[in-house]
A and B are shown apart, each in its own frame.
Chain A
Amino acid sequence: MTNHYIDFRNADVILNMGSNVAENHPVSFKWIQRAKDRGAIFIHVDPRYTRTSTKADIFARLRPGTDIAFLGGMIKYILDNTLYDEFYVKHYTNASFIVNPKYGFDDGLFAGYDPTKRAYDTSLWALEKDENGIPKRDMTLQDEHCVFQLLKKHYARYTLEKVTAITGTPQEDLEKVYAAFGSTGTPDKAGTVLYAMGWTQHTVGVQNIRAISIIQSLLGNMGIAGGGINALRGESNVQGSTDQALLYHIIPGYLPAPRAQWATLADYNKTTPASKDPRSVNWWKNRPKYVASLLKAYYGDKATKENDFGYAWLPKLDPAQDASWLNLFDEMYKGNFTGFFAWGMNPACSSAHSGKVRQALAKLDWMVNVNVFDNETGSFWRGPDTDPKKIKTEVFQLPCAAFLEKEGSISNSGRWMQWRWKCTNPPGDARPDGEIIYELFRKVQALYRAEKGAFPDPLLNLKWDYETNGKFDVHKVAKEINGYFLEDIPEHPVDKKEYKKGTLVPSFVYLLDDGRTSSGNWIYCASYTEAGNMAARRKKDDPTGLGLFPQWSWTWPVNRRIIYNRASVDLEGNPRNPKRALLKWDAENKKWVGDVPDGPAPPMGTEGVYPFIMKPDGVASIYGPGLKDGPFPEHYEPLECPIEKNIMSSQRINPVIKIFEGGPDTFATCDPRYPFVCTTYRVTEHWQTGVLTRWLPWLLEAEPQMFCEISQELAKLRGIANGDKVFVESPRGKIWAIAMVTPRLKPFVIAGQTVHMVGIPWHFGWLHSKDAGVNANRLTPTVGDPNTMIPESKAFMVNVTKAPKEPAKKAEKAQRR
């Protein structure tokens, strides 16, 4: 999130698209309601009419997987009707930047496509620089190669007629949404966007977000109170676990994971983002300080200048290696791993194509499964249609403490790092994850110390001293993440002040690249300082009156509550909307008042800096040349789709997605055997695979069994009545569900053809309760977004049939299965 949950209340128009906020982030609806009480317009765009839609002032229905068409139409509408914020577009975005004349777009393909590699030569899309290396601009926005003109040209094709033909959304609904959201393009109005997996779980997932980024940049909605692009993340600490880099492609603080081509730290640092524009802060230029400080947090005293701070000990990916989720399980399926940790995860249910995952787990020698409850992953060897006697995998199931049985911090979607206190002891032998990790690694270290083994250096040199009186101490880790001064610093280059060895670094501004500071994660530097544990703060002052609560918990970075907030002021530093003043330049005292600004530099008009300090060019990217699938979002059909031809171009699917073929990976497009679009989702009463919630009797009582939502029209077509047992089948698997026949789902008319849709929740699994049902991901395909490899679980094809009536006894047996 650029903004935060309470900030929803400051919006004039709220667009909830690609998520179901009332059902999946229920308490945040408090702040939407607060905005509505003030007269704000709440829009819900979704394939299904949900609990969220019931509260919407405007509801528009679209076919799953057509968001870019919908948003492309909005871009066109904003441009055609001059609804954009001209000042903002000119000064705070790259609309005026000139693009390489070799950039082009023709019939669904951008310039530079190589069909044999299924990849683009993205260098053809680069921004033009002048002789000083500064981006060329045309502030009149008239140059035919400037971003603004290219944008106009690209989206001129997204007419209402075409958008309706693709999305199935009636034109009048499109216009209602476009007009309402487009009304926020003035400085006195704020429009915010709330999205979730409904946008990310597509083969065009990143481009869905890009499309809304363009819209929010055009409307001047980034960096302001009541604006922003707000990912409603699915788990209480998935923001934190991402920040801490439990992902293959990054190390903590969003630093790129080392690769083979960067043999030394110097090579690695050569990839640091650079800008020659003196007015662009380009904050990432500081990256070498963060890497050095991280390595010091990893290896302590063993990391020295002479040994590159231990950089060589870090594992390196191959130059173009993608070790992300779908590839991970593909490798496992091929038998390339002997060991596996499923730590606080249930991939046998949560992974796309979970049937493949279950087969993959059987190819391991051993698996460690840590959880609060038993789950379909840890117990995969005793699952349905599985003979334990044929499965070699040795399984360790370790019981861990639940959230209220341990101490530590979690980061919500608004980047609020909140401390949790321990409320009670874990039951039986269960222990906090931290303790388990701490002890396990000590045992591995001891083995290597005693017996040697392959390259023991990174293991034996690792700093692993997070205990107090012989017990794991989470505060020591929290402090390590923040970072220490490792030497006395008589005069710090930043403020000329003295800092003592062993004290906590006040903020990442003080981190150094010479080994004199440590920080386990630079974006969390300032979270645990000599002033104490910032995440544990509970003061409720609200000086701006905007609900920032700067002394409640702590927000990364440096307690900034709304990022890119310099875009909320004009060139002189005055709030563009004085009624919701997020930031104001106090010219007399030469300082900013309000939220923590994006850097202390004075306003842009007074020899200051561009507002988007994390972007190399200092401005918001309407044009985004850094992605694999194009600088502008373009509509492509999902891998599995109901129509033969993409209405926008000859490219039916995203031309750069990786196609997994063979073995269990099968797909079906426009296949009469699988005629219906299917989408997966969650309901309020359960969470993720149900690994927690299915075990809680009150929640299971409220949502007891797998169901399948279908329209009355589809029910009629298939002879299904409400409450009937049905089968839902894709090329990957077949599951049963109870039909929920509802007027809330409607068939779409897509290019004159009727397309039916099926909706299924993914909370259920065979293990518990016994009659709860089967897991929805048995049906989803192995295919992902080309940039992130997030699976396309929101649009694929299935068939639905009424289950034959079973004799009573047999039915009972089937239920038990």
Chain B
Amino acid sequence: MSGVTRRDFLKMSAVAAAGFTLSHLGFDLTPIRAYAAELRRDLRIKDAKETPTICCYCSVGCGILVATDAKGKVINAEGDPDHPISEGALCAKGASSYQIAVNENRLTKVRYRAPYSDTWKEVSWDWALDKIARNIKKSRDKSFTEKNADGKVVNRTNGIASVGSAAMDNEECWLYQKMLRALGLVYIEHQARI
């Protein structure tokens, strides 16, 4: 009977639909053996901790529930059914949130590329932030302009610019612009302009 084809199946289905059972054809269908992995396995998020967050992509602001295991590792991320806008739904991007958290390509080290070098070097936070602070001071001190060409006070740093970022939270954005304006930057831009 290895030659059962699609057409044969259709016959069978039609029979079934017509009120016949396939046992008429000699097939024994009675014992349903629940051996499949899915039936044996427990819901894999049964004991997980679920934390609500909001999707990082478009501006709809869909709710996501992130499930983590006992060690805090993300094991699932799906729509938050309580969320009034998304009601549990997520598009392709939102539905792939798990792979943002669990991804071997994530940047996990501070990296430094020296002038004219062709490689990254891993460095410590302290080393990098000290050196960046030093660079900021150097650029700022060099380019700081107290008065413009008309003699008006402008107190600005012409030699440093910043772009970013809508990828940050409100509080981070606010903190960032506070820092930039304290440094005297006026070239402050981000995604909203483009």
B68–A423 CB distance below 8 A: yes
19 residue pairs from A and B, CB less than 8 Å apart: A27-B91, A316-B148, A325-B163, A338-B142, A338-B159, A343-B163, A372-B100, A397-B120, A404-B53, A404-B101, A412-B54, A434-B172, A440-B132, A447-B133, A466-B175, A477-B172, A481-B170, A547-B84, A696-B100
Interface presence of A282 (CB below 8 A):
no
Cα distance A391–B187 in the bound complex, in angstroms: 23
Q: Which of B135-150 contact A (CB under 8 A)?
A: 135-144, 146, 148, 150
A263–B155 CB distance below 8 A: no
- Looking across the interface, which residue of chain A has its beta carbon closest to that of B190? A246
Q: Mark A431-444, 1 if CB is under 8 A from B, else 0.
A: 11110111111011
Cα distance A314–B181 in the bound complex, in angstroms: 7
Q: Mark B42-57, 1 if CB is under 8 A from A, else 0.
A: 0000000001111111
Instruction: State the Cβ distance, B30 to closest chain A Cβ, in Å.
Output: 40
Cα distance A587–B183 in the bound complex, in angstroms: 53
Q: Which residues of B are found within 8 Å of A388, using beta-carbon distances?
A: 116-118
B170–A408 CB distance below 8 A: yes
B51–A422 CB distance below 8 A: yes
Cα distance A448–B178 in the bound complex, in angstroms: 17
A328–B93 CB distance below 8 A: no
Q: Which residues of B are found within 8 Å of A439, using beta-carbon distances?
A: 125, 129
Q: Which residues of A are found within 8 Å of B188, using beta-carbon distances?
A: 246-248, 323
Interface presence of A458 (CB below 8 A):
yes
A399–B109 CB distance below 8 A: yes
A260–B64 CB distance below 8 A: no
A237–B170 CB distance below 8 A: yes
Partner of A235, one of B59, B109, B154: B59
Interface presence of B14 (CB below 8 A):
no
- Looking across the interface, which residue of chain B has its beta carbon closest to that of A692? B100
- Looking across the interface, which residue of chain A has its beta carbon closest to that of B94? A27
Q: Which residues of A are found within 8 Å of B61, using beta-carbon distances?
A: 5, 236, 410, 412-414, 416, 418
Q: Which residues of B are found within 8 Å of A394, using beta-carbon distances?
A: 112-115, 135
Q: A237-B167, A238-B191 are in contact. Are A27 and B176 (CB under 8 A)?
A: no
Stretch at the interface among B4-12, B20-28, B33-41, B71-79: B71-79
Q: A453-B141, A547-B84, A695-B105 are in contact. Are A344 and B174 (CB under 8 A)?
A: no
Q: Which residues of A are found within 8 Å of B144, using beta-carbon distances?
A: 454-455
A692–B170 CB distance below 8 A: no
Partner of A25, one of B60, B137, B142, B166: B60
Interface presence of A685 (CB below 8 A):
yes
Stretch at the interface among A176-184, A329-337, A495-503: A329-337
A408–B169 CB distance below 8 A: yes
Instruction: State the Cβ distance, B75 to closest chain A Cβ, in Å.
Output: 10
Partner of B112, one of A244, A395, A547: A395
Q: Which residues of A are found within 8 Å of B74, using beta-carbon distances?
A: 404, 423-424
Q: Mark A231-258, 1 if CB is under 8 A from B, else 0.
A: 0111111111111111110011000010
A429–B164 CB distance below 8 A: no
Interface presence of B186 (CB below 8 A):
yes
Cα distance A793–B194 in the bound complex, in angstroms: 9
Cα distance A547–B94 in the bound complex, in angstroms: 23
Partner of A402, one of B52, B56, B160: B56
Q: Which residues of A are found within 8 Å of B191, using beta-carbon distances?
A: 234-235, 238, 241, 345, 350, 688
Q: Which residues of B are found within 8 Å of A321, using beta-carbon distances?
A: 186
Q: A260-B150, A315-B155, A432-B172 are in contact. Are A234 and B58 (CB under 8 A)?
A: yes
A314–B155 CB distance below 8 A: yes
Cα distance A171–B58 in the bound complex, in angstroms: 34
Interface of B, secondary structure class, is mixed
Partner of B161, one of A332, A428, A477: A332
A339–B190 CB distance below 8 A: no
B137–A453 CB distance below 8 A: yes
Interface presence of B153 (CB below 8 A):
yes
Partner of B174, one of A244, A331, A443: A244
Cα distance A389–B166 in the bound complex, in angstroms: 33
Partner of A524, one of B111, B118, B170, B185: B170
B193–A396 CB distance below 8 A: no
Partner of B187, one of A248, A404, A409, A421: A248
B84–A343 CB distance below 8 A: no
Q: Mark A381-403, 1 if CB is under 8 A from B, else 0.
A: 11000001111111111111011
Q: Which residues of A are found within 8 Å of B168, using beta-carbon distances?
A: 237, 241, 343-344, 433-434
Interface presence of B108 (CB below 8 A):
yes
Q: Which residues of B are found within 8 Å of A420, using beta-carbon distances?
A: 52-54, 169
Instruction: State the Cβ distance, B194 to closest chain A Cβ, in Å.
Output: 6
Cα distance A733–B144 in the bound complex, in angstroms: 36
Instruction: State the Cβ distance, A540 to closest chain B Cβ, in Å.
Output: 6
B190–A402 CB distance below 8 A: no
Cα distance A688–B72 in the bound complex, in angstroms: 30
Q: A237-B166, A241-B168 are in contact. Are A396 and B139 (CB under 8 A)?
A: no
Instruction: State the Cβ distance, A558 to closest chain B Cβ, in Å.
Output: 16
Q: Which residues of A are found within 8 Å of B115, using beta-carbon distances?
A: 391-394
Q: Which residues of B are found within 8 Å of A342, using beta-carbon distances?
A: 163-164
A315–B157 CB distance below 8 A: yes
Cα distance A411–B60 in the bound complex, in angstroms: 9
Instruction: State the Cβ distance, B59 to closest chain A Cβ, in Å.
Output: 4
The 9 closest A-B pairs by CB, nearest first: A428-B108, A408-B169, A344-B165, A412-B61, A343-B164, A399-B107, A26-B91, A454-B144, A315-B156
Q: Which residues of B are found within 8 Å of A247, using beta-carbon distances?
A: 188-190, 192-193
Q: Which residues of A are found within 8 Å of B86, using beta-carbon distances?
A: 27, 30
Interface presence of B2 (CB below 8 A):
no
Q: Which residues of A are found within 8 Å of B55, using beta-carbon distances?
A: 236, 403
- Looking across the interface, which residue of chain B has its beta carbon closest to that of A552? B84
Q: Which residues of A are found within 8 Å of B96, using beta-carbon distances?
A: 693, 696, 698-699
Cα distance A418–B176 in the bound complex, in angstroms: 20
Residue in A394, A439, A481, A687 with the greatest tally of chain B CB atoms within 10 Å? A394
Cα distance A702–B93 in the bound complex, in angstroms: 10
Instruction: State the Cβ distance, A788 to closest chain B Cβ, in Å.
Output: 7
Interface presence of A218 (CB below 8 A):
no
Interface presence of A789 (CB below 8 A):
yes
- Looking across the interface, which residue of chain B has its beta carbon closest to that of A699? B96
Stretch at the interface among A363-371, A588-596, A736-744: A363-371
Partner of B58, one of A24, A338, A365: A24
- Looking across the interface, which residue of chain B has its beta carbon closest to that of A443? B133
Q: Mark A117-140, 1 if CB is under 8 A from B, else 0.
A: 000000000000000000000000
Q: Which residues of A are found within 8 Å of B108, using beta-carbon distances?
A: 399, 427-430
A248–B189 CB distance below 8 A: yes
Q: Which residues of A are found within 8 Å of B120, using beta-carbon distances?
A: 397
Other contacts beyond A247-B188, A414-B85: 15, CB < 8 A: A235-B166, A241-B165, A248-B187, A315-B155, A316-B186, A341-B163, A395-B112, A396-B131, A397-B111, A398-B110, A399-B109, A399-B110, A408-B172, A416-B61, A434-B168
Interface presence of A606 (CB below 8 A):
no
Interface presence of A174 (CB below 8 A):
no
Partner of B176, one of A315, A433, A699: A433
B116–A390 CB distance below 8 A: yes
- Looking across the interface, which residue of chain B has its beta carbon closest to that of A453? B141
- Looking across the interface, which residue of chain A has its beta carbon closest to that of B107? A399
Residue in B152, B159, B188 with the greatest tally of chain A CB atoms within 10 Å? B188
Q: A247-B189, A423-B53 are in contact. Are A409 and B171 (CB under 8 A)?
A: yes
Q: Mark A767-804, 1 if CB is under 8 A from B, else 0.
A: 01000000000000000000011110100000000000
Q: Which of B87-105 contact A (CB under 8 A)?
A: 87, 89-94, 96-97, 99-101, 103, 105
Instruction: State the Cβ distance, A484 to closest chain B Cβ, in Å.
Output: 15
- Looking across the interface, which residue of chain A has its beta carbon closest to that of B151? A260
B143–A240 CB distance below 8 A: no
Cα distance A374–B103 in the bound complex, in angstroms: 13
Cα distance A41–B153 in the bound complex, in angstroms: 57
Partner of B54, one of A5, A239, A418, A547: A418
Instruction: State the Cβ distance, A692 to closest chain B Cβ, in Å.
Output: 7
Q: Which residues of A are found within 8 Å of B180, using beta-carbon distances?
A: 341
